[in-house]
Structure 1
Amino acid sequence: MATYQFKLPDIGEGIAEAEIVAWHVKVGDRVEEDQQLADMMTDKATVEMESPVAGTVKSLAGEVGDQVAIGSVLVEIETDADVGADTPIASQEGTETRFDGERVDSVAMGDGAVAPTPAQEEALPALTVAEASAPSERQAQPEVEARSPVQPAEERPSTALGTSETHAHVLASPAVRQRARDLGIDLAQVRTASDRVRHSDLDAYLLYNGGQLSTRGAAPRQDEQIKVVGLRRKIAENMQEAKRRIPHFALVEEFDVTALEDARAMMNRDRGSNPKLTLLPFLITALTRALAEWPMINATYDDEANVVTRHGAVHMGMAAQTPSGLMVPVIRNAERLSIWQLASEIARLSDAAKTGKATREELSGPTFTISSLGPMGGIASTPVISPPQVATIAVNKVEEKVVPLNGELEIRKRMNLSLSCDHRVVDGWDAASFLQALRPLIENPLRLLA
């Protein structure tokens, strides 16, 4: 027997430590060679750690959320024979892994059903017999015993508005009765101009008495504590730093995208093997051309050295929602790509981000960022700039509006773009001019295709 120390390798240039975001083994588990041990995060890239040897897990470096230094022991594995790699060591005293216990607890809590104990099973029939016992006078009336007894009116449970059960003599349709039960309304308390309670009568009752109704909302949830680790912690740290250091200002402008949507629909009809086009490739093309005219917006700011770098190439950050949180893969040299090439790159990077396969280089170095929530994009937004960038833009939803055009009213498709800028570097006039430079490109898509 020998103890193999698996040390955290150098998984990124310039990285001093990595965060444990998931364990795939626990102390006492048998592992095989190349079996996944843990997921480690550096910046926004997650790297899978695999076992170089077979054996039994002896100890783990820490819990989810802990930072582990490069070169320190991540996992100790007791091997069946001397593997001749790292030096065998004795067991470390005081080492404890609580993550194992937490996993067991979470599994135990995952199923809401709890099996009764033998004592409970024995008590249950006894309770049923006790409840079924009836007074002697009822034994002489078997037909009455078969029915549920009717409570006297003064004993019925009631709310501030009356009982929750409707009176049988009140005339109402089954749908009205069901709605009254759902709302906790006693139909006997509802006034009506006819001999039958209708939905309109319930509406009037709710209008004047709704504040007194008993609550029948969703079942209450228990409080839960969620440890902020991994990508969510990186997002929190980055957003806090961005808002602390950058004086943001936002500018929102409305654009007519009727012609652009028509052009997109036409191109999608004849796209062949090309990916389906969204608005994003068109907007990125327009942005790259406008950024060439306004380079102070396609820039990064080193506020410690007081140096602004205006970039010639546009490395377009593309905010993407993933199961783990927001990630920003980067389209390199976006100004060189056609609309179809941009569509392919958007699809590829989005898939890589969502599946956790995006590389470190694909998640670093944007000079400008665009984010879009599609039809959920809201009317306007104030996107947060990620330093050292000095600007970011958000795409809001497309809406049909009645607008005056050439002296007549027409229904047009309109969309807002929300631009946030770093006021230390970008002036309001620059931001407004940049948005106006986008207008002829977005509203006349032939300029984008030329």
Structure 2
Amino acid sequence: MAKFVFNMPDIGEGIAEAEIVQWHKKVGDTVKEDEEFVDMMTDKATVPMESPVDGKILEIAGEEGDMVSIGSMLVVIEVEGEVPEDVAEEAPAPAPAPKAAEVEERIEVETSDASDADDALAADPKPEPLPAPTPAPEPKQQAKVLATPAVRKRAKELGVDLSQVKPSEEGRIRHGDLDQFLSYNSGYGHAAKTREDEEKKVIGMRRRIAENMAASKRNIPHFSYVEECDVTDLEVLRAQLNASRGDKPKLTILPLLITAICKTLPDYPMINARYDDEAGVVTRHGAVNMGMAAQTDAGLMVPVIKNAQAKNLWQLANEISRLADAARNGTAKKEEMEGGTLTVTSLGPLGGVATTPVINRPEVAIIGPNRIIERPMYVTGSDGVERIEKRKLMNISISCDHRVVDGWDAASFIQALKKLLETPALILVD
């Protein structure tokens, strides 16, 4: 038998360490050559590690959520016979043995400490015997609760301790007293179930999200601006396009919104930009690499639609669907998750009235469409007469990096975007 030490490899991203996301094997398990035994996460992607040998796992570097430095031991595998030369790795050198002088000094210190302790024990007088403990007082007998059998039965079904219920003036608990207790303690007369406390280690994607969001809020002075848009005509156009789409994907409002954003950005280049904090350089991008926030089981991920300005509505719809699916099932490629210049984040039907999204650093802006709602509003007709109509309204939110984008620029950009959304024919005009 021989021991094979698998060190954490340099996966070519210039990183110093990676996080253990999930072990597929544990100590004592057997592993086959080319079999994945652990997933490691870097700042960019999750990378599965494959065993180059057959054998039994003897030791692992840590638990899920721990960080492992590049070049340090990740796993030790016991193999039959000798380790093949093409995969042989040198085990980390054991810690050097202490020099003789250090050993003598340590023995002298420890002996001295022990001698001092013995002297201290010898000098201490014999301790006095402890006084006998005072017996605990007899518990007071709980006062009898007066209530009818029907009240007692109802309280038992509701899980209510009748000793906590204030009785009526005559000292007997009645249904009205129980109702008052329930109303005060739970709001609607039903006792809420209590969940057990649960501790969950923050690892993997959840940790990355936490770190990125904290860095964004810590380094970027955010400000947000919200405007209301009448999207009644936009929704009519979307319905017409879907009715004649044939085998094309069904359009949501997102491809229309992204197209409108791309048409507006050339006049507001400070929005489609990235800010390098360390170099103090802002890069205003010509191409729009649109980040698209997607909710997954692992947390919020942001795949990127490259060159969104060059795609038509149907191409955008295809990319949105494809990237969202890839993010949710974990098949998104590294290059599909980086390089964004501006992000759109939408909660769909849960969009709320207004949002103040956190910027996806190092981008300088993020746009959040909110829920479409129907409301009556004053509308001036072609005849100049003002009347009340039922309209579909949607708020558009934008958060910006105030180091790069001024409030006037953000407001002007959203007003220009609002014009396109409220006059949707302009979205389709080249």
TM class, shorter-length = 0.7 to 0.9
Give matches, 1:200-215, under 5 Å: 210-211=183-184
Distance 1:419 1:353 in 2: 24
Counterpart AA for 1:415: M
The answer on 1:428 being equivalent to 2:401 is no
**Aligned residue in 2 for 1:59:** 59
Structure 2, unaligned runs of 5 or more: 96-142, 169-174, 381-385
2:361 alignment partner in structure 1: 387
Percent identity of the aligned residues?
54
Paired residue for 2:377, among 400, 403, 411?
403
Q: Which of 163, 181, 189 pairs up with 2:151?
A: 163
SS of residue in 2 equivalent to 1:231: helix
The answer on 1:46 being equivalent to 2:46 is yes
Q: Deviations over 1:46-98 (max 9, x none)?
A: 1111222211111111111111222333222111232223446679989xxxx
Structure 1 residue 4 and structure 2 residue 20: aligned?
no
Q: Work out whether residues 294 and 327 of structure 2, in 8 Å CA contact, stay in contact via their aligned partners in 1.
A: yes
The residue that corresponds to 1:174 in the other structure is none
CA 1:379 to 1:164, structure 2 compared with 1: closer, same or farther past 3 Å?
farther
Q: Does residue 260 of structure 2 align to residue 259 of structure 1?
A: no
Residues 165 and 185, structure 1, Cα contact 8 Å, conserved in 2: no
1:242 to partner: Cα distance: 1.0
Residues 238-294 of structure 1 show CA distances to partners (whole Å, capped at 9, x for unaligned) of 111111111111100011111111221222222222222111111111111111110
- 1:184-195 superposed matches below 5 A: none
Query: Structure 1, residues 420-444: CA drift from partner, whole Å, max 9, x if none?
Result: 1111111111111000111221112
Q: Is the 8 A contact 2:359 2:399 kept in 1?
A: yes
Task: Give how far 1:210 is off.
Answer: 2.3
* Paired residues of 2:52 and 2:87 also in contact (CA < 8 A): no
**Aligned residue among 332, 349, 354 for 2:323:** 349
**Counterpart of 2:111?**
none
Q: What is the Cα deviation at residue 446 of structure 1?
A: 1.7
TM-score, length-normalised on structure 1?
A: 0.74
String of CA shifts for 1:321-374, please: whole Å, max 9, x gaps.
111111111111110011100111111111111111212211112111100000
How well do the aligned residues superpose, as a CA RMSD in angstroms? 3.1
Q: Which residue of 294, 297, 301 corresponds with 2:268? A: 294
Q: Is the 8 A contact 1:3 1:87 kept in 2?
A: no
Correspondent of 2:218 among 244, 253, 277? 244
Contact 2:272 2:341 in 1 (8 A): yes
Alpha carbons of structure 1 residues 377 and 212: separation in structure 2 relative to 1, 3 Å: closer
Task: Tell me the residue number matched to 1:366.
Answer: 340
Given the superposition, is the C-alpha separation of residues 383 and 417 from structure 1 closer, same or farther in structure 2, using an over 3 Å criterion?
A: same
Runs of 4 or more above 4 Å deviation: 88-94, 154-159, 180-186, 205-209, 212-216
Whole-Å Cα distance in 1 between the matches of residues 377 and 211 of structure 2?
A: 43
Please list the CA deviations of residues 374-403 of structure 1 after superposition, one character each: whole Å capped at 9, or x if unmatched.
Answer: 010110010111222111111110100101
C-alpha distance in 2 between matches for 1:34 and 1:212: 59
Which shows bigger deviation, 232-241 or 368-377? 232-241
Change (3 A) 1:7 1:412: same
Distance 1:181 1:296, change over 3 A: same
SS of equivalent residue, structure 2 residue 153? coil
Q: Distance in 2 between matches of 1:280 and 1:260?
A: 11
Deviation for aligned residue 1:208? 10
Q: Could you tell me how far apart the structure 1 residues matched to 2:254 and 2:147 are?
A: 58
Note if contact 1:156-1:163 (Cα within 8 Å) is conserved in structure 2. Answer: no
What TM-score does the superposition give when structure 2 sets the normalisation length? 0.77
> What is the correspondence of 1:20-419 to structure 2 with a 5 Å cutoff?
20-82=20-82, 83-87=84-88, 163-165=151-153, 210-211=183-184, 216-406=190-380, 407-419=386-398
Contact 2:182 2:190 in 1 (8 A): no
Q: Distance in 1 between matches of 2:195 and 2:185?
A: 23
Q: Which amino acid aligns with 2:274?
A: T
Q: Distance in 2 between matches of 1:270 and 1:8?
A: 54
Matched letter for residue 350 of structure 1: A
Task: Flag structure 1 segments of 5+ consecutive residues without an equivalent.
Answer: 95-153, 168-179, 191-200
Distance in 1 between residues matched to 2:34 and 2:263, nearest whole Å: 48
